[in-house]
Amino acid sequence: MMVDFDDRFLAHAQLVIEQKLRRRETFLFSWPDDNSVGSGRSTVVLHASIPLVFRYAERRPVEINRLWLNLLRDTANAASGLLYVPEPGARMMPLPRSHV
């Protein structure tokens, strides 16, 4: 499965995911689905044995928002797992698009 996240969210999520996997922690990652694939949500189980690829649309790295990073880390450490949450102060974030 391939899911397209915007570069800004992906950069922040990647840092959280890397930290969890380095600790060999298995956790959930959930996001709302784009209307083109339904109006539900998707959840995957992430584990260090599963290969992941992070592909960015832009070459230039994004500036990391420490407040958002900490918010995402908090969700990843909760029973619900890492959640796709908007950046504090951001107007609107595009929903991810899934490809099978």
Q: Which pLDDT score, from 0 to 100, does residue 100 have?
A: 47
What residue ranges do the domains of the chain occupy?
2-57+66-99
Average pLDDT across the chain, whole number: 89
Which has more confidence, 7 or 89? 7
Give 49's pLDDT tier (boundaries 50, 70, 90): very high
How long is the chain? Answer: 100
Give 37's pLDDT tier (boundaries 50, 70, 90): confident
Distance CA 100, CA 87 (A): 27
Q: Which pLDDT score, from 0 to 100, does residue 92 have?
A: 61
Phi, psi of 63 (to 5 degrees): -80, 135
Distance CA 100, CA 15 (A): 24
Question: Could you tell me the CA-to-CA distances from 4 to 12, 31, 79 in Å, in that order?
Answer: 14, 11, 24
Above 60 in pLDDT, residue 99? no
Reported pTM: 0.86
